Structure 1
């Protein structure tokens, strides 16, 4: 544990951010899996609804720096291709 006041604060804030980022990343993965599940079930309506939610979360994650913007773009492209193929 650090002794300097600013370092103590940095440890606390880093841990808070880590937990928030982990939760958001987990929600993002869940949204992507929901789209994949709907595609496997051949359910076009629910796939499109889940896709819009996943795209929203991907954009948000990329803008906040949680994932790289090119990674978000790639994931959106691949999901959209799969949904359009239904």
Structure 2
């Protein structure tokens, strides 16, 4: 345990940031899963409505990832890699 007052404050700040980052990462995983579920629905029932839902989900996922990069939760390369993975899934679904 820290003895210096500023170090004690820093421990509290680090814990608060850890919990916020954890929640943000969890939200991104949730958005990615929702996107993947929408893609699976589109594969089983390809229709313009389903494709619209897929595009809405990928846009929401991209937005959340970009905000995480902006806040410093993810490094920008990590954000780019996650977005590229989602784009790859969409490309495979559109091709079939």
Q: Give the TM-score normalised by structure 2.
A: 0.80
Please, which runs of 5 or more residues in structure 2 have no aligned partner?
43-49
Aligned pairs, how many?
86
Residue 68 of structure 1, CA deviation = 1.8
Name the Cα RMSD after superposition: 1.4
Distance 1:36 1:69 in 2: 22
Q: Give the TM-score normalised by structure 1.
A: 0.88
1:68-83 counterparts in 2 under 5 A? 68-83=75-90
Please, which runs of 5 or more residues in structure 1 have no aligned partner?
none
> Which of the two has higher C-alpha Rg?
2
Output one character per residue of 1:10-64: Cα deviation in whole Å (capped at 9) or x when no partner: 1111111111111111101111111111111113221111110000011111122
The answer as to whether partners of 1:21 and 1:66 remain within 8 angstroms in 2 is: yes
Runs of 4+ in 1 over 4 A off after TM superposition: none
1:1-86 counterparts in 2 under 5 A? 1-42=1-42, 43-84=50-91, 85-86=93-94
